[in-house]
Structure 1
């Protein structure tokens, strides 16, 4: 407990609860009680370290200044000895203590510059030891000096030491108070034993000395309290600055993130705008391409339809004139126009199905050598009619198994070979040739179709794969093709996985079309292949005589034409327009039909699926069902096999072949 603190009992006894006396006591306690240590030891240690570092240089300067002042008093003692005979005999011993004090202070200066003087405990040890030594030297001088010199010239030196101690050295209040108390106690004891100073002078001197000690301690207390408060304020400010800096850093980071997010959002917005613009341009290009496609298709369809109408009109006039020979000839020409119209319709529908994604390829293993041989054999007469030598070369006689679609690959082969035949160079009469080759590689098989025809200029390489584009046929001669063959080839190859189409051509020298197909495992057993409808040998309609067919067709014109055609072939047929009429008919017939031919889209939101379900519910065994439709993507719905669907318009030969195929398959099952 601080010596200036009053106990609670004393406070209640002497102050009696008076507000004025309480205020005085509080002021005295505030002025004289040294500041309490910080509650947190860590904070107290940090404050002590900061205190020592802050006043280290100031303390060194004060120590040097105090040493100089102490030494200067030696000159004053020398002058006093020269002028006072009374003082002269005591001068040597007194001056010796002056020199001893100077030497001790010099040692303190050396230690202050060599030791860790910035540490507060080290500084206190050096300074307090030096002050105690200086007070001892001064006390010895006071005892040795004669009266009244010991009081007037030496005792007053204690005032200077106390002023210096409390005001310049920045020592802690507690440490200086303890040192001052010890010094005063030693002075009193020395006076009691030596009586060196006259009693009256000593009492007066002690009175002033105690006042100096009291005032100096008060100043020291307030100085230390101010330093502690300033330290807390500085630390709080530092923490605030740190928090502010962290907040600034976080704010800068958030600003950076926000700016980056803004840039990213702007980039995404620009990319989205660009994407939308690209999509708009792509949609416009697709729309323009579709418009050109429809315009070209409409133009090419008008020609054979126009010819068909004229041939039929001429045949009708010939029949009215009883000219059967001319009528038969004109009907034959009308049939040619009809076949050309059907071919064009089917090509357009095939390309539409391929580009719309309604075609789902069925992968199987086929022997490419065999497929090429069949295509070459089928197109050999056409090549001979054009004066083109069609040759097939293969590396060896082993099968070349490829993984592809068995229905679409023959179409690719036929279109590429027929394209080479059609564009033979007329200037090379007798030397025109189309060579078909199969090259086996480790991972793929390459089909090459090479011709020495007119060739294709580089700037037209992309255009030839567009619908109705024929570089060497500006007059749109139907004898040179429809302009859809390479478009279908490109669409099929793009659809099939692992397939790639390549073109190399030199204008005036010829072209090479190559198709890469992935190799199939050699030990794989290929699926049963069904040749395309165009390649099937056309049997006689008499093979259909006696069959019983149910026809479901909502279009009256198509239904009438089918009834007439089936009647000419000797086929017994019952025709209805809807599923409801078919249900009524099934309740009355006595014979199981050999085949059902139906349109896909029927009245009352019915489809061919409803026809198949109705047949399955009425008959105990399956009845073959052939769907003849003008809609694309019917087989993609998964319920109708590819070989059960024919697209309108179709030729009579294809219809005969497919009807025989399905009825023969049922006969084998039975």
Structure 2
């Protein structure tokens, strides 16, 4: 089968020869049987149309030539009538059919040039009807002409008509064979009825006529078969050319696409190189900034730590001299230095968490008006100590619900208000003011913290948000702050979705810091009646008395300090350094511990996760675990809740509160 879905004539002949019982029979069938139609009707229709178009002009020319030959035989009949007295009486009747045939041929020529002669079916009808009419005229001449002229001069005309029919008109083999059989049948019928031709001559003439018919039919069959095979080859070539053109077009398109891709790749490569250069430069800048940050942090941490060491040394000497009052005062000063160290360290740790992406904000609906009330109340005493009037200017006594993080937003507001209080203008004694305003808009709420302090020059607007940068504190006085407040504010606002920080300031006149945040969804707003109540007063360590705690801490100083606190609080405890020691301890304990406190990073590559796993293996009921770590971004992979992880350093009050929360012991106020 070829690409058109049908067998070629060559394939058919080969199959016939290979399957026929005898080669002779196969060849006879191959020669005399007209070609089969294509299996696909659409292909057959297309072949017929192509066949008619291809031979239309050739058939017209053959029709004109045949008409001229027919007319020339008329002149020969005229000459015969002039020379033969025997033929002369029959000439008018015979010649009348000559002119009738010429008229019929002329009509065929006219139809061939007027009608849709390029259609194979129309051409066949015109030519076959014309041939039939010519044969009828020739048969009438044969019957009317006298012997032997009817055989020697007219019967032989059938040979010419058959030669002309099979060789010039390009008719289909089946149609010409049917017409030939009809003509032969008509000749035989006429002979039987009229006995016009002598029997001996008629037998000889029919013998030759049948031979001409067989030979002409075989030629016509092979001609049509050749045309069909050529049509298949041409169509296959056209299909191949079409496929080649499509492939060339696809190749050209691919070439264009490759060229476009090459240009795009070049642009991307250039952009990537530029991006890498920018990233390298940004990394270098970040590295320099980190180095400056670490240097500033180390400098600021050394100051309170230095003071702490000196206070403790002086207190030690006072105790040796049994000066209880002096030692007590010095230990109090040491605690102040320790608190300052913890504040500074926690500030650095918070900023590191924010910038490293370890902080994941938790969005809730927060009443911003209530947050402002609480923050202003907490900072009122600090403002009064600095001689600054702190006011909250609100137009309406109604909630202002926003979508923000309930833990970080109070710190942002507190840092902004504290910053305004710290940088009050000394020349405006008695007139220094910090005003907190709340502006409600349809889609957002804005907090404005406005002061009339020293103000900030425009060239310092970007610098004040850098860590440890204090424009009005070149001597780095810790009493004026740590220099981390605005850095934390900037990092928190950048982290929270839909939040924006704005600054407007005039040197010598004051500043306005504004934080814009999105309005909360109405369906997510918490009912004020179900809002959490105010936090109780700090719990007392006496609430922990009698608890049994297992401590896993590899740092000897930290372990010793916590053991000392537990002893003072009346907490029963066992302390180990490694996970292996903790496993051995679990084999000997006679009481299920109330709480496990563990560092995260432990010796021998172990972590607090291993501690939690051992607890699950040894005890059937869950035992609460508190992880106290100095690493930022510690993840327990969902094993422990977020409130079971605390960051070092932490205050004793925070440790007491979290221990009571995890053990479920009711807190007793101090």
TM-score of the aligned structures, taking structure 1 as reference length: 0.70
In structure 1, the partner of 2:414 is 414
Instruction: Tell me if 1:482 matches 2:510.
Output: no
- Residues 271/130 of structure 1: CA separation in 2 closer, same or farther (3 Å cut): closer
Q: What's the offset of the Cα at 1:153?
A: 5.6
- Residues 285/135 of structure 1: CA separation in 2 closer, same or farther (3 Å cut): same
Q: Secondary structure at the match of 1:448?
A: strand
In structure 1, the partner of 2:533 is 528
- Residues 155/336 of structure 1: CA separation in 2 closer, same or farther (3 Å cut): closer
Q: Mapping of 1:150-161 within 5 angstroms?
A: 157-161=157-161
Summarize deviations over 1:324-362 as a string: whole Å, max 9, x none: 999888766655443322211121223344455655666
Summarize deviations over 1:168-215 as a string: whole Å, max 9, x none: 22343413531552464367458734x6xxx6xx95697467436624
Q: Secondary structure at the match of 1:510?
A: strand
Aligned counterpart for 1:234 among listed residues 231, 234, 239: 231
In structure 2, the partner of 1:349 is 349
CA distance in 1, matches of 2:357, 2:106: 105
Summarize deviations over 1:375-428 as a string: whole Å, max 9, x none: 223323433444433221122233445565554433222111112223345565
Q: Is the 8 A contact 1:401 1:522 kept in 2?
A: no
Q: Is the 8 A contact 2:167 2:220 kept in 1?
A: no
In structure 2, the partner of 1:15 is none
- Residues 643/165 of structure 1: CA separation in 2 closer, same or farther (3 Å cut): closer
Q: What's the offset of the Cα at 1:57?
A: 3.0
In structure 1, the partner of 2:211 is 214
**What CA RMSD, in Å, does the superposition of the two structures yield over aligned residues?**
5.7
Q: Mapping of 1:344-423 within 5 angstroms?
A: 344-355=344-355, 367-401=367-401, 405-423=405-423
In structure 1, the partner of 2:105 is 105
Q: Mapping of 1:4-83 within 5 angstroms?
A: 33-35=32-34, 37-38=36-37, 40=39, 42=41, 51-77=51-77
Q: What's the offset of the Cα at 1:218?
A: 0.7
Aligned counterpart for 2:177 among listed residues 167, 174, 178: 174
Aligned counterpart for 1:577 among listed residues 569, 575, 578: 575
- Residues 556/228 of structure 1: CA separation in 2 closer, same or farther (3 Å cut): closer
CA distance in 1, matches of 2:25, 2:307: 131
Q: What's the offset of the Cα at 1:138?
A: 4.2
Summarize deviations over 1:585-618 as a string: whole Å, max 9, x none: 9879xxx99x98956459786869979999xx99
Q: What's the offset of the Cα at 1:527?
A: 2.0
- Residues 517/426 of structure 1: CA separation in 2 closer, same or farther (3 Å cut): farther
CA distance in 2, matches of 1:625, 1:143: 131
CA distance in 2, matches of 1:661, 1:147: 142
- Residues 284/40 of structure 1: CA separation in 2 closer, same or farther (3 Å cut): same
**Deviation larger for 170-179 or 578-587:** 578-587
In structure 2, the partner of 1:12 is none
Q: Is the 8 A contact 1:457 1:505 kept in 2?
A: no
Q: What's the offset of the Cα at 1:264?
A: 8.3
- Equivalent pairs, count: 623
Q: Is the 8 A contact 1:563 1:573 kept in 2?
A: no
Q: Is the 8 A contact 1:363 1:403 kept in 2?
A: yes
CA distance in 1, matches of 2:193, 2:637: 124
Q: What's the offset of the Cα at 1:526?
A: 0.9
Q: Secondary structure at the match of 2:530?
A: coil
- Residues 612/401 of structure 1: CA separation in 2 closer, same or farther (3 Å cut): farther
Runs of 5+ in structure 2 lacking a partner? 1-21
Q: Is the 8 A contact 1:456 1:511 kept in 2?
A: no
CA distance in 1, matches of 2:530, 2:60: 105
- Residues 480/134 of structure 1: CA separation in 2 closer, same or farther (3 Å cut): same
Q: Secondary structure at the match of 2:531?
A: coil
CA distance in 1, matches of 2:60, 2:449: 105
Runs of 5+ in structure 1 lacking a partner? 1-21
- Residues 559/72 of structure 1: CA separation in 2 closer, same or farther (3 Å cut): closer
CA distance in 2, matches of 1:582, 1:70: 131
In structure 2, the partner of 1:302 is 302
TM-score of the aligned structures, taking structure 2 as reference length: 0.70
- Residues 326/428 of structure 1: CA separation in 2 closer, same or farther (3 Å cut): same
In structure 2, the partner of 1:8 is none
Instruction: Tell me if 1:447 matches 2:447.
Output: yes
Q: Is the 8 A contact 1:501 1:516 kept in 2?
A: yes
Q: Secondary structure at the match of 1:134?
A: helix
Q: Secondary structure at the match of 1:666?
A: coil
Q: Which has the larger radius of gyration?
A: 1
- Residues 35/548 of structure 1: CA separation in 2 closer, same or farther (3 Å cut): closer
Summarize deviations over 1:597-644 as a string: whole Å, max 9, x none: 956459786869979999xx99x9x99998765454579777878888
- Residues 73/335 of structure 1: CA separation in 2 closer, same or farther (3 Å cut): same
